[in-house]
Amino acid sequence: MELLAERATELPGELTGLPTPAYVYDLAEVRRNHRRLDGALPRGTGLLYSLKANPHPDVLAVLREAGARPEVCSSGELRAALDAGWAGGQVLYTGPAKRDAEVAAALRAGVREFSVDSPHAITQLDRLAGAAGVRARYLLRVNDDQPVPGQGLAMTGVPSQFGADTGWILAEPARFAGGEHAEAAGLHLYMGTNLTEVADLTGQFRRALGTAAKLRKALAPHGVRFRTLDLGGGFGAPFAKDGTAVELPGLREELEALLGEELPGWRERGPEVVFESGRYLVGTAGTLVTAVLDVKRSHGKDIVVLESGINHLGG
């Protein structure tokens, strides 16, 4: 990989005495990736950074300055977001299996927007918001009826801990009419992940918008007012292998046309449309620096033995 080769020639001089193994992050690459992705998304939409990808304080500072909002799914990620300077009211708290203590702490920190995907999660948020004396809102995360074709990992149309089945929502729309302390405020759709082709990305967002339109129509008679539509992400980038974050030519134009067809009023933030990304923004910005401890021959090949392991690549 040319980029890694360039970095490798620079590292010894820059980082003499660095304890290894260690990751070195290129913050300029994070900025480039953010500019590239932001420029590929429809004008006037928002971009959330998924802290699970990398919660390092310096990475968060760059993305906050660039205008990204935080998406978190744990109390540790929430603390990292707050420490980086984001306000609780800017945070979207996602993920299944939230403990009462986590939700209560998030509410105390000023978080008011959560993603939920089960009857338990809805009643939990309503109960804890009431105990805190505040009003919260939730985005209903959807697990659509069919998977989206493409080369990435399917995040919908399969049995999963993530998302409420579309069929259940359509069968019981009155359930979302609004609780005493928490109200439905939109949808959260995440149809696929690690997609690198514009056609695949466009296909998943087309499906997501179609599903959103169907659910919005079903929920409207029950007083559900959509403030936010989170279309997720799925923007692919290489990790632990050669490559750079891909260009996404034509994606902005395709998505603006789709939004115009399926969601009239989106330009006036009715509702606000947001996207998410973690991997694309930071996956190519880190270099693992490690020492060679041994070199040997095995079955005709040279084997280089490092002090690092697959655990440092998330494997």
Same structural domain for residues 315 and 231? no
pLDDT category, 14, cuts 50, 70, 90? low
- The 3 state secondary structure assigned to 119-169 is HHHHHHHHHHHHHHCCCEEEEEEEECCCCCCCCCEECCCCCCCCCEEHHHH
* Residue percentage of the chain with pLDDT more than 90: 68
Same structural domain for residues 16 and 31? no
pLDDT reported for residue 166 = 85
Distance of alpha carbon 47 from the chain centroid? 9
pLDDT tens digits for range 207-235: 999 999 999 999 999 989 899 999 999 99
Q: Does residue 2 surpass a pLDDT of 60?
A: no
Same structural domain for residues 91 and 178? yes
Total residues belonging to the chain: 315
Distance of alpha carbon 244 from the chain centroid? 19
For residue 217, the SS3 value is: helix
pLDDT tens digits for range 41-77: 999 999 999 999 999 999 999 999 999 999 999 999 9
Same structural domain for residues 233 and 309? no
pLDDT category, 4, cuts 50, 70, 90? very low
Same structural domain for residues 141 and 221? yes
pLDDT reported for residue 3 = 41
CATH of the domain at 163: 3.20.20.10
- The 3 state secondary structure assigned to 67-104 is CCEEEECCHHHHHHHHHCCCCHHHCEECCCCCCHHHHH
Q: Does residue 147 surpass a pLDDT of 70?
A: no
Q: Give the total number of structural domains in the chain.
A: 2
Same structural domain for residues 149 and 108? yes
pLDDT category, 238, cuts 50, 70, 90? confident
The whole-angstrom separation of Cα 141 and Cα 263 is 18
Cβ–Cβ under 8 Å, residues 195 and 235:
yes
Distances (CA, A) of 37 to 47, 71, 137, 258, 281: 9, 16, 28, 18, 8
Q: Which domain holds residue 297?
A: 1-25+285-315
Same structural domain for residues 1 and 85? no
* Residue percentage of the chain with pLDDT more than 70: 88
Same structural domain for residues 297 and 245? no
Neighbour-count burial of 291, counting CB atoms closer than 10 A to its CB (0-12 exposed, 13-18 middle, 19+ buried): exposed
Same structural domain for residues 206 and 175? yes
Average pLDDT of span 111-120:
95
Same structural domain for residues 14 and 50? no
Q: How many CB atoms lie within 10 A of CB 157?
A: 18
The overall average pLDDT reported for the chain is: 89
pLDDT reported for residue 157 = 43
More confident residue, 192 or 46: 46
The whole-angstrom separation of Cα 24 and Cα 284 is 11
pLDDT reported for residue 18 = 83
For residue 106, the SS3 value is: helix
Least confident of 23-27, 48-52, 61-65, 83-87: 23-27
Q: How many CB atoms lie within 10 A of CB 65?
A: 12
- 195 DSSP assignment: B
Same structural domain for residues 91 and 132? yes
Same structural domain for residues 235 and 292? no
